A = this chain, B = another copy of it.
Amino acid sequence: MTRMETSRATTAKQLRPYTRPLIKNAWYVAGWSEDFGDDLLARRILDEPILFYRATSGEPVAVLDVCPHKLAPMRLGQRIGDDVQCGYHGLKFNKHGQCVHNPQGNGIIPPNAKLKSYPTVERYSVVWIWMGDPAKADPDNIPDFSVLDDPKLKPVKGGHKVESNYMMMVENLLDLGHALFLHANTGGMGNLQLTESKITNEDGAIKDWRLYTDIPTPSLFAQFLNEERADLWSDIRWSAPSVLLNNAGVSPVGRARDKSVAVEQYGTHFLTPETQTTTHYFYANTRNYALDDPAGDEAWRQWQRKALKAEDSMVAEAIQSVVPQAEELEVEMVVLSTDLSGIRANRILEEMAVAEEGE
């Protein structure tokens, strides 16, 4: 290989997080529980058009949004009891996707007349969907996000579409060092020196703990902790492929992570690939202070709009626009010491992708 070829091969490898096939055998967040009701809801996940509705039992139903007769989207039809009827020629399918009625001609139901059906689980105020081999769908593998249901905490939920591969957002969350620059105005943390940090890798989850001691209390929390200086921590847990739990908070100096005196919040970040290059982003900030204070809600709502949308997602989308051209531009990508969590996550995902390619 010439030097240019070597350089391109390296770049291609470094672009893999954004270009490799999406992981199928995984639980993804399809949406908040409240998104799913009696009405038909169409949402594209892993580039498959999926139709959702709740059965009369309350159970979330997920089937392919394509009628096998003439390929009309099922969302153009209507729900009848627990079934869904195509709006074009009237084929009716039950909640398992099996065709149960053909009102046309001789009325015979072709044996392969069915909609692909997807396993779902509703847990932690969230509907989860399994996009791969149904035999492998084990609800026990859904990571713990019980903070979302904790009555002693107050969540502020939101979401938006990001025009980038989901990994730009995952890597963003796995290195919160970007906050000092990208969120200079939304984090209010100045240029901090890290006191302690720790990365662990357990059961396919990566935890990245970061602690800053004895710093001026960051503006995000200053109103609620009556201390001029504080200990600040920002811990994050990533579970493959794309759900993250952040815990960030402040406490009086010397009592970092002491729940009894902490002013803290849990950030839940669900990055569900819509396509290879677009992502459903569902997030919540769940706090342990000012539970009934609408100003507390509004502060987090504004922060989500600015930090998660106008800043993080804006950068992710800008990067996405560069990715297809990066090889041709012969950009030699570089790695910093703070990319370690992202690198580990990518190694896990690469193994999962390779395993699925072999299936």
- A interface residue numbers (CB < 8 A to B): 47-49, 64, 66, 68-73, 76, 85-90, 99, 102-106, 108, 110, 112-113, 116, 168, 171, 175, 177-178, 180-182, 191, 314-315, 318-319, 321-323, 325-326, 328-338
Contact = CB atoms under 8 A, between A and B. Distances in A.
Contacts of A48: 329
Q: Which 5 A-B pairs have the closest CB atoms?
A: A105-B337, A105-B338, A110-B334, A90-B181, A106-B337
Contacts of A68: 331-334
A178 B88 CA distance: 6
A335 B318 CA distance: 44
A322 B66 contact: yes
B71 A336 contact: no
Per assembly, the copies of the chain total: 3
Nearest to A332: B112
A347 B352 CA distance: 45
A193 to B, nearest CB: 11
A143 to B, nearest CB: 26
A73 B320 CA distance: 10
A48 B178 CA distance: 26
A69 B329 contact: no
A122 to B, nearest CB: 25
Contacts of A175: 89, 104
B104 A334 contact: no
Contacts of A87: 181-182, 315
A234 to B, nearest CB: 14
B177 A112 contact: no
A177 B104 CA distance: 7
Contacts of A191: 103
22 contacts: A47-B328, A48-B329, A49-B325, A64-B329, A66-B326, A66-B329, A66-B331, A68-B333, A71-B319, A71-B323, A71-B326, A71-B331, A72-B318, A73-B322, A87-B181, A88-B315, A89-B177, A89-B182, A90-B180, A104-B337, A105-B337, A113-B334
Contacts of A338: 89, 104-105
Nearest to A106: B337
B315 A105 contact: no
Contacts of A319: 70-72
A181 B69 contact: no
Nearest to A78: B181
A71 B337 contact: no
Contacts of A72: 315, 318-319, 322
Given A68-B333, A71-B331, A105-B337, 5 more contacts: A71-B319, A71-B326, A73-B318, A90-B180, A112-B334
A145 to B, nearest CB: 27
A113 B333 CA distance: 8
